[in-house]
């Protein structure tokens, strides 16, 4: 019998429909084809990207030359532009404003063939600290209300370049998905005076059914009502609303947890394409007891189709308990 499950944060219902016949082993996505050809993110091609914003250069080489280990550049085809005023205005009943924002690319490694999951722990930690540094820098620009850090890995996840990279977009408004979480977390806090994510962590660690990785400092779980098969959330065990408020010494544990989670997903699902997104509290707000930053990892195994688009329901053929078991059993 299919099951309807409600996400306690957003109140979004999902349909867990195992009848649709997919078993974890059926997700094998098949061989990946590398497109090859010219890559603007490879060392030697620094002049093919806009000038770098910041880079980690272990040998103190000059900006926009080789010798970097992580490089942050403006997106050459930005969704939003950094210059200008918002100029919010109305057109009859319609609201609009100028497309002001920042759109940056974090080139995670000089090695064209390396994947995030395979980099050294120190390197993964440096990438996560780079996210933090960029958020702290962009926070000074009060036009920006939110920064979404995300990664599209593979064509199925929307990546146009195969060289491992992540991106961030700073926006002058708080995105709707985030607002839904903020609203749900606020409702829960009003009722219980507790953070809903802390409550979820407590319950999940107690039951263990949906836990993928459990460390003292970070935990990876399959949520109770996941939209997608093998959707995985990674959270700090200690309550903190802003990602960038995490002290630098806590990024090692985060790197360990992220790497192990990605490796388990890669091993269990034959190296799937995936997205991850970082959900954190709005940039210009003070620390909150209501909201808890987290990373959502979504392997691209299904397509969003008409029913999902039309209803906001998601049909997920893999129960999270089975996904969690499968990820825990994955050979590393």
Minimum CB separation from Zn ion for residue 181, in Å?
5
Kindly provide the residue ranges of all beta strands, DSSP E only, lying in the chain, ordered along the sequence. 3-6, 13-16, 54-56, 70-74, 89-91, 94-96, 102-107, 146-153, 165-171, 211-214, 218-221, 232-236, 274-279, 294-299, 314-316
Does 80 bind Zn ion (CB under 5 A)? Our answer is no
Nearer to Zn ion, 35 or 142 (CB): 35
Candidates 63-71, 145-153, 190-198, 311-319 — which segment interacts with Zn ion by CB under 5 A? 190-198
CB 28 within 8 A of CB 269: yes
Tell whether residue 292 is a contact of Zn ion (CB under 5 A).
yes
Residue 198 binds to Zn ion (criterion: CB under 5 A): yes
Interface with Zn ion includes 56 (CB under 5 A)?
Answer: no
Q: 37 and 161 in contact (C-beta within 8 Å)? A: no
Active site residue 165: yes
Q: Is 42 in the site for Zn ion (CB under 5 A)?
A: yes
Check 103, 123, 163, 165 and give the catalytic one.
165
Q: Least CB distance from residue 163 to Zn ion, whole Å?
A: 3
Q: Does 134 bind Zn ion (CB under 5 A)?
A: no
Taking the complex as a whole, how short is the minimal distance between the CB of residue 283 and Zn ion, in angstroms?
A: 16
Q: Which phi and psi (to 5°) does residue 280 adopt?
A: -135, 170
Residues numbered 214-253 forming contacts with Zn ion, rule: CB under 5 A: 239
- 205 scored as a contact of Zn ion (CB under 5 A): no
CA-wise closest residue to 279 among 167, 187, 149: 149
Figure out which of the listed residues 5, 12, 57, 112 binds Zn ion, where binding follows CB under 5 A: 112
Three state DSSP letters for 121-168: HHHHHHHHHHHHHHHHHHCCCCCCCEEEEEEEECHHHCCCCCCCEEEE
Q: Which is nearer to Zn ion, 18 or 110 (CB)?
A: 110
114 contributes a contact to Zn ion by CB under 5 A? no
User: Considering the complex, what minimum distance in angstroms separates the CB of residue 244 from Zn ion?
Assistant: 16
**Exposure string over 240-267, b if 16+ CB within 10 A, otherwise e:** bbbbbebeeeebbbbbbbbbbbbbbbbb
The 158-177 contact track toward Zn ion, x by CB under 5 A, reads -----x--------------
Residue count, binding to Zn ion (CB under 5 A): 11
CA distance 256 to 297: 15
Using CB under 5 A, pick the residue from 41, 144, 228, 276 that binds Zn ion: 41
Catalytic residue list: 165
């Amino acid at each position: 019998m299919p099951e309807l499950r409600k996400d306690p944060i957003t109140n979004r219902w999902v349909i867990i429909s195992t009848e649709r016949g997919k078993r974890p082993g059926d997700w094998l996505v098949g061989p990946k084809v590398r497109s090859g050809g010219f890559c603007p993110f490879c060392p030697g091609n620094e002049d093919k990207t806009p000038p770098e914003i910041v880079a980690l250069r272990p040998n103190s080489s000059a900006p926009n030359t080789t010798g970097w280990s992580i490089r942050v550049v403006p997106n050459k085809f930005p969704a939003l532009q950094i210059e200008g005023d918002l100029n919010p205005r109305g057109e009859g009943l319609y609201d609009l404003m100028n497309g002001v924002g920042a759109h940056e690319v974090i080139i995670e490694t000089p090695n064209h063939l390396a994947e995030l999951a395979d980099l050294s722990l120190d390197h993964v930690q440096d990438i996560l600290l780079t996210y933090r540094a960029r958020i702290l820098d962009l926070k000074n620009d009060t036009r920006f209300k939110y920064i979404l850090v995300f990664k599209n890995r593979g064509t199925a996840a929307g990546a146009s370049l195969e060289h491992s990279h992540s991106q961030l977009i700073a926006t002058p408004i708080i995105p709707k998905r985030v607002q839904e979480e903020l609203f749900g977390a606020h409702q829960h806090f009003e009722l219980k005076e507790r953070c809903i994510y802390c409550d979820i962590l407590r319950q999940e660690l107690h039951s263990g059914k949906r836990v993928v990785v459990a460390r003292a400092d970070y935990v990876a779980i399959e949520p109770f009502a996941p939209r997608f098969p093998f959707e995985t959330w990674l959270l700090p065990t200690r309550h903190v609303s802003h990602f960038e408020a995490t002290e630098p010494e806590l990024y090692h544990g985060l790197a360990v947890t992220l790497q192990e989670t990605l490796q388990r997903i890669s091993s269990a699902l034959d190296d799937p394409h995936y997205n991850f997104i970082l959900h954190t509290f709005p940039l210009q707000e003070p620390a909150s007891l209501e909201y808890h930053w987290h990373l959502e990892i979504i392997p691209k195994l299904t397509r969003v189709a008409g029913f999902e688009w039309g209803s906001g329901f998601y049909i997920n053929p893999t129960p999270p308990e089975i996904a969690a078991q499968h990820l825990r059993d994955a050979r590393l």
